[in-house]
Amino acid sequence: MITPTTITNYNRTEAELEEFLMFAILVAGKGAEQQAKKLDAFLDTIMSMGMGAEDYTPFDGLGYSIQLEEFFRDHHKEEINLLDRQMKMHKLGQYNRIGHAFKEILKFKGKLKDVTIDELESIKGIGSKTARFFVLHSRPDAQVACLDTHILKWMSEKGYNVPKATPPKNKYKEIEKLFLQEAINHQLTPADLDLQIWKSYAI
């Protein structure tokens, strides 16, 4: 299960990266601890369909749910949105956004150690903050900022003129540069400063 208080991990396996990307999508705008528990329960459901198959990963579970949907549609002329049912069973919320993103990220299977921010942002349902959150806490020396409400509140208290919510893409990089300079000033990596700020406000 994802542990929000120790979110940074540069040695995740591909399967762990799959789980972490799903968490990054799921947690946007929600409580991290609660969403981590919901994702864990959701993964138990979709992974159980692998029936203990070796090397079965979270993306395999997603893919199998989608394959079952296609099977029923093609062979039984029956529309069943299995993935949507599974998400609703675990009350993941924002079903259209998350469901679409979960389906689209399957194209990155086996590529998550190298997937770029631009590639992640090409997925509907993954914005600048979510893409950077994934990269920031899974790759060493990542020079990006996850501009969530905690970071923006901290920057506002520092005297920066920043919005209360995640800025649009055209303003994001400008504010991101300011945060990265703060990380340098504090002699911390962006990931460490991000986690330090999150803990000070969220815990």
Q: Does residue 184 share a domain with residue 134?
A: no
Q: Does residue 133 share a domain with residue 189?
A: no
- Note the pTM of the prediction, 2 decimals: 0.90
pLDDT tens digits for range 71-81: 666 555 556 67
Q: Does residue 175 share a domain with residue 113?
A: no
**Cβ atoms of 166 and 129 closer than 8 Å:** yes
DSSP states along 135-170? HHTTSTT-------HHHHHHHHHTT----SSPPPHH
End position of a domain, from candidates 141, 172, 187: 141
End position of a domain, from candidates 119, 141, 163: 141
Q: Does residue 129 share a domain with residue 109?
A: yes
Domain of 120, in residue numbers: 1-141
* Total domain count, the chain: 2
44-66 mean pLDDT: 81
End position of a domain, from candidates 97, 119, 141: 141
| pLDDT confidence bin for 128, thresholds 50/70/90 | very high
pLDDT tens digits for range 96-123: 999 999 999 999 999 999 999 999 999 9
